[in-house]
Amino acid sequence: MFKKIISLLLCAIMTLSFIPAVGVFAAKGTGVIYGDVNGDKEVTSLDIVRLKRYLAFYDFDTETSSVEISAGADANGDGNVDALDIVRLKRYFAEFDYETGKSTVRLGPLGDNEGWSPDIL
Ligand SMILES: [Ca+2]
Ligand SMILES: [Ca+2]
């Protein structure tokens, strides 16, 4: 258990050190802010940390986690909360342009003309 906690802390520190916190909205008409895992109405690196913790503490027997998340945790909008949402969030921040305040990677479900490819996870 101690190793798991240390591992999670190191993971969180590494994530925070590589991804600066930014306040970016990815709002949709549904009111869900895709990527806002902790429900603070912003998409920041803290949301990646929360999502990782949610999945780390997920109990497959009860299908619950001791870590709370908001509806925005489904960052790719596919109806599931899983590792693919972490991938989408990481790509979102990797492609984030601080001058324009936008990322070339969209959060939420893809439109009809944005077919699936491994590049858009
Ligand atoms: Ca958030
Ligand atoms: Ca998802």
What are the boundaries of each domain within the chain? Answer: 2-108
Quickly name the fold that domain 2-108 has: Type 1 dockerin domain (1.10.1330)
Distance CA 36, CA 26 (A): 8
DSSP secondary structure code for residue 43 in this structure: B
> Over the stretch 88-120, which tens digit does the pLDDT of each residue have?
999 999 999 999 999 999 999 876 656 555 555
> Over the stretch 21-79, which tens digit does the pLDDT of each residue have?
444 444 446 688 999 999 999 999 999 999 999 999 999 999 999 999 999 999 999 99
pTM, rounded to two decimals? 0.70
Q: 90: CA distance to ligand 1 center in Å?
A: 14
Cα separations in angstroms, 61 against 57, 64, 65, 85:
12, 8, 10, 21
Distance CA 104, CA 20 (A): 17
Q: 45: CA distance to ligand 1 center in Å?
A: 8
Q: 69: CA distance to ligand 2 center in Å?
A: 13
